[in-house]
């Protein structure tokens, strides 16, 4: 089957005769494919170019979402694996296509170890295809469910990786708008902290003065300013990360409800608890960063960069109970008093 249009000539991997039988690394694969990446504007594809389905075996479904199905792709010639996100054209509204175009443009701007790499895209008669690197460790949500909760040490390293990626995204004036554990993948089964952020389907490039209005996101993770229909900024991502940090540390969500209206009321109020039963062993700094993220006023909420510099991440920080800190403060004060008096 051949396709009419092509944004990234994936089949050039096949055409490259020197690669025909040899298995190539992901990195080489990325270079080979992205070399051909073209902007969204339709470029007529030569009629001889094989389509995605002629290029990859795609038998295994590895995920699905509201608008797409994701399959593992195995290159027919060289065996290289990738993920192929497939969109059926007949179910996409024009607004969905705008989101898809933006997803592609955003991914083309990004190059970071904790963000999924786009290898190429293609339009074919009935589908759009996004070919990305394959991430094999599964969704963070599944990992939290399996582990019940993260140790604070592992949660800290994982969160550092998330803040690192989000600081980078925000520095490029891009907002993700759908951060949640389903959209964070672990790179291996044997690591709990090395991640890739995926699903830029709601992402948007903005200018520093842009304020967004579109209501989007996922119920448990959506920021209060989005629900209050206020103009919002990249700070919405920090709220979502606050929900993720809370979930990692204790294995349940800070805001819950019997239905969406009840859940949204709770989020808008921003009232949550550190229940003693679950939080007593958790450090003061972990609680502090969680509350500083789950702050209703986005201007008072930590930015990604501030979060990255939070005390929780200071090396060798054996975080103390606030009461112990107070005792030490008093001790210093009294010591100083004594020294002062000498």
Ligand X SMILES: Nc1ncnc2c1ncn2[C@@H]1O[C@H](COP(=O)(O)OP(=O)(O)O)[C@@H](O)[C@H]1O
Q: What are phi and psi of 35, to 5 degrees?
A: -55, -30
Residues 133-152 touching ligand X, rule: CB under 6 A, are 133-135, 139
240 binds Mg ion per the rule CB under 5 A = no
Residues 101-120 touching ligand X, rule: CB under 6 A, are 116
User: Is-catalytic flag, 54?
Assistant: no
d(CA 203, CA 209): 17
138 binds Mg ion per the rule CB under 5 A = no
Q: How far is the CB of 116 from Mg ion (least distance, A)?
A: 11
Which of ligand X, Mg ion, none does residue 140 bind to, with CB < 5 to 8 Å depending on kind?
none
Of the candidates 159, 185, 223, 247, which one interacts with ligand X according to CB under 6 A? 185
Q: How far is the CB of 66 from Mg ion (least distance, A)?
A: 8
63 binds Mg ion per the rule CB under 5 A = no
Which of ligand X, Mg ion, none does residue 139 bind to, with CB < 5 to 8 Å depending on kind?
ligand X
Of the candidates 77, 124, 199, 225, which one interacts with ligand X according to CB under 6 A? 199
Tokens representing residue 59 in the block:
């038998």
Q: How far is the CB of 333 from ligand X (least distance, A)?
A: 52
Give the nearer residue to ligand X in terms of CB position, either 86 or 245.
86
121 binds ligand X per the rule CB under 6 A = no
- Ramachandran assignment for 273, one of left (phi > 0), alpha (psi -120 to 50 degrees), beta (any other): beta
- Annotated catalytic residue: which of 15, 54, 178, 285? 178
Of the candidates 67, 274, 279, 313, which one interacts with ligand X according to CB under 6 A? 67
- All residues at 6 or more sequence positions from 73 whose CB lies less than 8 Å from its CB, including other chains: 52, 56, 57, 58, 81, 82, 83, 84, 131, 134
85 binds ligand X per the rule CB under 6 A = yes
Task: Identify any residues that bridge with 111 across adjacent strands, giving them in sequence order.
Answer: none
Element (H, E) at 45: none
Q: How far is the CB of 184 from ligand X (least distance, A)?
A: 9
Nearest-5° angle of CA 329, CA 332, CA 338? 145
d(CA 217, CA 215): 7
248 binds ligand X per the rule CB under 6 A = no
Residue 279 CB neighbour total at 10 angstroms: 16
d(CA 246, CA 152): 11
Please answer whether residues 202 and 217 qualify as being in contact, where contact means their C-beta atoms are separated by less than 8 angstroms: yes
132 binds Mg ion per the rule CB under 5 A = no
How many residues in total does the chain contain? 342
Q: How far is the CB of 142 from ligand X (least distance, A)?
A: 8
302 binds ligand X per the rule CB under 6 A = no
Q: How far is the CB of 137 from ligand X (least distance, A)?
A: 9
For the chain, the first-to-last Cα distance in angstroms comes to 91
Place of tokens 């672990």: 186
The residues that touch ligand X, with contacts defined as CB under 6 A, are: 62-68, 70, 83, 85, 116, 132-135, 139, 182-183, 185, 198-199, 201
Catalytic residue IDs: 178
């Amino acid at each position: 089957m051949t396709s009419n249009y092509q944004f990234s000539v994936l089949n050039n991997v096949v055409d490259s005769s020197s690669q025909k039988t040899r298995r190539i690394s992901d990195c080489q694969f990325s270079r080979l494919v992205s070399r051909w990446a073209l902007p969204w504007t339709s470029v007529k594809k030569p009629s001889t170019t094989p389509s995605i389905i002629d290029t990859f075996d795609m038998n295994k479904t590895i995920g699905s979402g509201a608008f797409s199905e994701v399959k593992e792709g195995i290159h027919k010639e060289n065996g290289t694996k990738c993920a192929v996100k497939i969109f059926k054209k007949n179910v996409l509204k024009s607004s969905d296509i705008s989101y898809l175009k933006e997803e592609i443009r955003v991914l083309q701007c990004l190059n970071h170890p904790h963000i999924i790499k786009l290898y190429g895209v293609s339009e074919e008669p009935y589908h759009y295809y996004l070919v990305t690197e394959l991430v094999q460790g599964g969704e963070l949500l599944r990992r939290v469910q399996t582990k019940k909760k993260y140790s604070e040490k592992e949660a800290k390293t994982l969160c550092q990786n998330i803040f690192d990626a989000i600081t980078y995204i925000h520095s490029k004036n891009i907002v993700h708008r759908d951060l949640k554990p389903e959209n964070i993948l672990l790179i291996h089964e044997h690591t709990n902290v090395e991640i890739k952020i995926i699903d830029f389907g709601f992402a948007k490039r903005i200018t520093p003065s842009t304020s967004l209005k579109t209501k989007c996101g996922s119920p448990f993770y959506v920021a209060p300013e989005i629900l209050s229909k206020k103009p919002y900024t990249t700070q919405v991502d920090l709220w979502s990360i606050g929900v993720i940090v809370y979930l990692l540390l204790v294995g349940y969500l800070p805001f819950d409800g019997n239905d969406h209206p009840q859940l949204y009321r709770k989020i808008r109020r921003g009232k949550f608890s550190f229940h003693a039963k679950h939080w007593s062993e958790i450090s003061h700094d972990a609680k502090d960063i969680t509350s500083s993220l789950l702050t209703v006023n986005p201007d008072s909420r930590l930015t990604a960069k501030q979060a990255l510099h939070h005390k929780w991440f200071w090396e060798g920080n054996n975080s103390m109970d606030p009461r112990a800190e107070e005792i030490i403060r008093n001790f210093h004060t009294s010591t100083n008093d004594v020294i002062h008096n000498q």
